[in-house]
Structure 1
Amino acid sequence: MADLPRLNNVIRALEAGQHALTCFAPAHTDSAIAMSASKYDGCVFEMEHNPWDSGRLRDCLQYMLNRAQIAKAGLVPPVTPMVRIPVNGVEMAQWQAKQALDSGCYGIVFPHISTVEEAANAVGACRYPRMKNAPLYEPVGIRGDGPTAAARYWGLSQQDYYKKADVWPLNPEGEIFCIIQIEDTKGVENLDDMLKNVPGIGAILIGEGDLSQELGYPRQYEHKVVLEWMKRIVDTCKKHNVVVGHPHVETGNAERIIKEGYRFLMMAPVQSYGHFASAQKLTGRS
């Protein structure tokens, strides 16, 4: 166990004080092959606004494997695969997160989280249960036990997988990155309580599309009212020393976003990597 490397490159970057460079990617095998050879730290397969298909997700994970990369780098995947699931926070569901983690995903994006209870449910869905007197008991784990495929995908024994399959940074050895999206004013107003009472959140990802819709300025991402509400999220995350992410990093806004304090940066998965190159230079990772 002590000799195992850090498997999650998104966590690796953040632990080193760097920015994590990531993107959304379509959940199909051609995209998975392209992502596996990209320069991103991680990619998030987009399944919130597409039909949920756990078999297709598992295919994507398999197509990200490259035998030459494995021979060179060992167990560490060059690009860490994660997924955004469809279920909203208010539904208090866990089954899609369970299926994604059981397939081998290293992280889950939970959309539309607005309350402390919803945030705790999201983190708990990424954790196995443990006794009340065990260390790091809270948030209570509710993930069902079915590790066979995930342990095989990570290249670990089941016992080593159990030790690593916990949320970072609550568990410093954990490899699972739990991201919750704040997408409405209720979520913004409750964020301070969420971060105060729910340990184990890896990052807060701003859902500026839905937030701007509610505010009456749909997709007007540079509107001052939208930016004011986004700043409230950033300021709250800074107060609690929690990573904050931006879903629409482009060449034109990258410098501003980085200066504002975003560290989980998501770009369009384009082959030219123009946005990526800009963000890489601005974050000192070129």
Structure 2
Amino acid sequence: HVCTVEDARAAVAACRYSRPAGSANFDPAGQRGDGPGIAAKYWGLTQQEYYSRADVWPIDPKGEILVGMMCEKVEAWKNLPDILDQVPGIGLVVIGEGDLSQDLGFPRQYDHPKVVEAMTDIRRICAEKGVVCGHPHVNPNNIDGLIDEGYRWLMASPTRSFAALEKGRARLSGQAK
């Protein structure tokens, strides 16, 4: 629920290590705590190698941390141009269509003109600011349309399978061995 410039600045700052004031790419000032041991091991790096990569892209072109925000309230939509203009480091905006449609008063009515207008405008703003726009509910039935609309970060909807449950029920009822 990043809705304001201040929210966005705090999100980016939370992903960055502190550095001396006046350092290159200082803003937003990092607030992340030290202690890279586990992350460095997970990344397969020494701690110093990790420090050289553990910054926010695109603030640091060598940074390997991508900060994304979800635009899921009308307030966020209206503030999005200011957020993207004033906060370096937002590399991705995902439209939280469920919450956004709720906030607009048309819960999960994704074809409602007001919801379509909001989502279209968010994509337009992202395109104008050079920031990738994402969609969180991609499936085989909507993928072509989402790409045509300009989404470039696509999160597949989870598949739900009850195969194990069905097998367990059959086994417990004596129908399978």
For the aligned pair, the TM-score class normalised by the smaller chain equals 0.7 to 0.9
Q: Distance in 2 between matches of 1:186 and 1:270?
A: 32
Are residue 216 (structure 1) and residue 105 (structure 2) matched?
yes
Q: Distance in 2 between matches of 1:221 and 1:213?
A: 10
Are residue 250 (structure 1) and residue 148 (structure 2) matched?
no
Are residue 128 (structure 1) and residue 22 (structure 2) matched?
no
Give the alignment of 1:9-158 within 5 angstroms: 112-158=1-47
Aligned to 1:259: 148
Q: How much does 1:241 deviate?
A: 0.2
Any stretches of 5+ residues in structure 1 without a counterpart? 1-111, 273-286
Q: Secondary structure at the match of 2:138?
A: coil
Aligned to 2:158: 269
Question: CA RMSD for the aligned pairs?
Answer: 1.4
Q: How much does 1:159 deviate?
A: 0.6
Aligned to 2:168: none
Aligned to 1:236: 125
Q: Larger Rg: 1 or 2?
A: 2
Any stretches of 5+ residues in structure 2 without a counterpart? 162-177
Q: How much does 1:247 deviate?
A: 0.6
| Match 2:74 to one of 177, 185, 196 | 185
Identity of aligned residues (%): 53
Q: Distance in 1 between matches of 2:84 and 2:55?
A: 18
Q: Distance in 2 between matches of 1:242 and 1:261?
A: 11
Q: How much does 1:243 deviate?
A: 0.6
Q: How much does 1:250 deviate?
A: 2.1
Q: How much does 1:215 deviate?
A: 1.2
Q: Distance in 2 between matches of 1:222 and 1:252?
A: 15
| Match 2:54 to one of 165, 171, 193 | 165
Q: How much does 1:225 deviate?
A: 1.4
TM-score, normalisation: structure 2? 0.87
Q: How much does 1:142 deviate?
A: 0.4
Q: How much does 1:219 deviate?
A: 1.0
Q: Distance in 1 between matches of 2:71 and 2:13?
A: 18
AA paired with 2:129? H
Aligned to 1:175: 64
Q: How much does 1:271 deviate?
A: 8.5
| Match 1:225 to one of 111, 114, 119 | 114
AA paired with 2:32? R
Q: Distance in 2 between matches of 1:113 and 1:146?
A: 26
Q: How much does 1:229 deviate?
A: 0.3
AA paired with 1:245? G
Q: How much does 1:147 deviate?
A: 0.6
Say how many residue pairs are matched: 161
Q: Secondary structure at the match of 2:137?
A: coil
Q: Distance in 2 between matches of 1:128 and 1:256?
A: 39
Task: Compare 136-145 and 244-253 and name the one that shifted more.
Answer: 244-253
